[in-house]
Amino acid sequence: DAGITQSPRYKITETGRQVTLMCHQTWSHSYMFWYRQDLGHGLRLIYYSAAADITDKGEVPDGYVVSRSKTENFPLTLESATRSQTSVYFCASSERNTGELFFGEGSRLTVL
Amino acid sequence: GQQLNQSPQSMFIQEGEDVSMNCTSSSIFNTWLWYKQDPGEGPVLLIALYKAGELTSNGRLTAQFGITRKDSFLNISASIPSDVGIYFCAGQYQGAQKLVFGQGTRLTINP
């Protein structure tokens, strides 16, 4: 199916474990983004990418790693999960640098 | 980091009422956007504004790009139950690749 998909949709893990959230888009959009959404903080940018092999930090990058070896994929890895990383994570893509983002359905992560 | 002040934080209205919400910033933005998030879903773009003073409509929704480029508002006329959700404003600086989001306005409608 066309669009932007995230997996898993729900994940429970333990403190210290590595977790990878996947994001895949079928539009060949150049730009991809990872946001986290927490009560009281709205949407905060973690990392973004303007093209394959180009990534940059957002507002809250600490504790996260990204890669973009292919245009369509933009995985987000929590190298050693902490409770403060319990959140809903959204991936988004954009064809051009216009601010017009297409969001995935989100991945809800709980770190125990 | 840069914050957008979005108000109100929440609204409780009756079906059929009109709704107004706004965003202000201490900085100038080149683009203002409004997104809506339904429960359990990702945000969806409603309206994008690219020029100061621009007034744009999308059905019952109307948004304006403030003349000072530091604010924007969104109006919803004759609200219906499917308007329930969280509305986010977002601003983009000229040449920037990322957006700054407001905290969101949670809209609840009593039938």
The Cα angle at residue A76 between residues A37 and A5, in degrees rounded to 5: 75
| pLDDT one-digit tens code per residue, B51-86 | 999 999 999 999 999 999 999 999 999 999 999 999
Predicted pLDDT at A41:
79
State the DSSP string of A10-41.
EEEE-TT--EEEEEEESS--SEEEEEEEETTT
pLDDT at residue A22 tops 90:
yes
Contact check, Cβ <8 Å, A90/B98: no
Q: Are B97 and A56 in contact (CB < 8 Å)?
A: yes
| Gyration radius of chain B's alpha carbons | 13
User: Under a CB-based contact definition with an 8 Å cutoff, are residues B91 and B63 in contact?
Assistant: no
Flag whether pLDDT at B23 surpasses 90.
yes
- The answer to whether B86 and B106 have CB atoms below 8 angstroms apart is yes
Distances (CA, A) of B35 to A42, A72, B85: 12, 23, 10
Residue B96: the pLDDT is: 81
State the Cα–Cα distance between residues B3 and A26, nearest whole angstrom.
32
Tell me which residue has tokens 């306005």.
B105
- Put simply, the chain A residues between 61 and 80 with a CB less than 8 A from any chain B CB are none
Torsion angle in degrees (nearest 10) through CA of A6, A48, A111, A3: -10
* Token couple for B63: 């948004």
Residue A2 has pLDDT above 70, yes or no: no
Q: Does A38 touch chain B (CB under 8 A)?
A: no
**Cβ–Cβ gap A41/B97 under 8 Å:** no
What pLDDT is stored for residue A101 in this prediction?
Answer: 95
Q: How confident is the model at residue B2 (pLDDT cuts 50, 70, 90)?
A: low
Tens digit of pLDDT for each residue in A30-59? Answer: 999 999 999 877 899 999 999 999 999 999
pLDDT tens readout for residues B6-17: 999 999 999 999
Nearest Cα neighbor of B84 from B63, B105, B67 is B105
Which chain B residues touch A if contact means CB-CB below 8 Å?
A: 1, 31, 33, 35, 40-45, 48, 88, 90, 92, 97-99, 101-104
